Chains A and B, each alone.
Chain A
């Protein structure tokens, strides 16, 4: 625990340049069985993990499952982690693959619909779209709702891989190189995937823009 306090001090005193080293130290401590260090790793990354899963799957229940399964896999395989990539890249690889599997299964079941399950029951996706101000022209408001609906349709029609790459680049702000590493493909392959996804988005939304 004292060693962990030291890592935190490093972050505070020496700033962002040492963050990577600090994360590696946390990983090593977690590999030695320090549960506190593992907890730190979870807390550093879990919001992003949940956000990605929630945005991709648009279901609280599914996002919760991905979150738990991802960190259980990390915990299970951490002793085998050999720093061939950064911890976060490895973590995103696990999350991306879990989400991909989920999306593929969902594609097979054709279960993507205009609503999704939450704790409080079925929720319409559109309720999460920010409402326009009341003084906005009704015509524009109608058009905006249509655009939002169209965006959802296009996102649902992307292939699971395109969907994941688009999510990682557009919503998570990850660079293509990192996306490629996370998915175990080249940067060029990730770029092609993003290219196809944005092409579909443009084709579907061009009339509205």
Chain B
């Protein structure tokens, strides 16, 4: 090995990326060559100096990335019919395959299925001690590919108790009262995907919320839902109630208290629409002033509120 070869391999040597024979050669050369030893020292120096340039991401950046990933994943997941995925998962042990139905029909089916599960549980007492099923309907149910084993328990005397359920489904138009009722129930389901999707479909409906049941579901989600994507969807649903003082109060609550930046920004966009398509009502102006008075720590929120008031030529109160 000559000096040129040695010097061009010094970085790979320091990285430990030379094979055994090359490493041996360079070490033998270094032992005999003062010039290359000096080059190695310089090489180490620039490696060390470059190490000092490594940046560690700020602590809060990772936390923020994680917070933002969850709703993004929820949105992504909700763009596929949640039901089909769930069914696929539940049906897999029975080798059930599903067509990709329209999302609305699939969701409605899942919700009805969930609702009917408890009613379709077998009479547990009839299974104790034996497997005698005199009822031919129950026999048929056991052979059905839609039957799912939900729980298995063993008793002290060796018997096995199997809890089974059968899926049911319903389909209908979005303006059908039963579908609407099931969607409202879905908006309170434990599975966030189902809540999000149900709320999204409800928000898209043009049917007037005469009974106020959607409003109630949205208010509840805005205040209490642990999933930011669901809260964001619920806040979006408040648009249709923009003349409702209670809804304005709810939007203000989100702007001031929600710990998720995306949800807060969604709320401020409803309060102060970026396109300013609709003139601000006195109630909205007052709400914006109240938000400013609460001295929000979020620069963006403060800026949007101040700008909206300035554009409306309303005094900015701090």
Q: Which of A58, A68, A71, A202 contacts B46 (CB 8 A)?
A: A202
B121 within 8 A of A: no
Inter-chain CA distance A48–B72, complex, in Å, is 20
A42 within 8 A of B: yes
A contact residues around B169 at 8 Å (CB):
none
From A81-89, A99-107, A190-198, give the one contacting chain B.
Answer: A190-198
Known pairs A60-B58, A201-B46, A202-B43; A50 contacts B65 (CB<8 A): yes
A63 within 8 A of B: yes
State whether A76 touches B76 (Cβ < 8 A): yes
A92 within 8 A of B: no
Size bracket of the B interface: 35 or more
A168 to chain B, nearest CB (A): 11
B61 within 8 A of A: yes
Inter-chain CA distance A86–B17, complex, in Å, is 21
Interface string of A126-146 (1 = CB under 8 A from B): 001110000000000000100
If over half of A's interface residues share one DSSP class (helix, strand or loop), that class is named, otherwise mixed; here it is helix
State whether A71 touches B43 (Cβ < 8 A): no
Known pairs A46-B66, A201-B46, A202-B46; A68 contacts B72 (CB<8 A): yes
Interface string of A173-204 (1 = CB under 8 A from B): 00110000000000000010011001101100
From B7-15, B146-154, B252-260, give the one contacting chain A.
Answer: B7-15
Inter-chain CA distance A128–B50, complex, in Å, is 13
| A residues apposed to B, CB below 8 Å | 32-33, 38, 42-43, 46-47, 50-51, 54-55, 58, 60, 63-64, 67-68, 71-72, 75-76, 128-130, 144, 147-148, 151-152, 155, 169-171, 175-176, 191, 194-195, 198-199, 201-202, 205-206, 208-209
Given A129-B53, A201-B46, 13 further pairs, Cβ under 8 A: A42-B69, A54-B57, A55-B54, A68-B72, A72-B76, A128-B53, A169-B15, A171-B54, A176-B17, A191-B17, A198-B11, A208-B46, A209-B49
| B residues apposed to A, CB below 8 Å | 8, 11-12, 15, 17, 41-43, 45-47, 49-58, 61-62, 64-66, 68-69, 72-73, 76-77, 85-86, 89
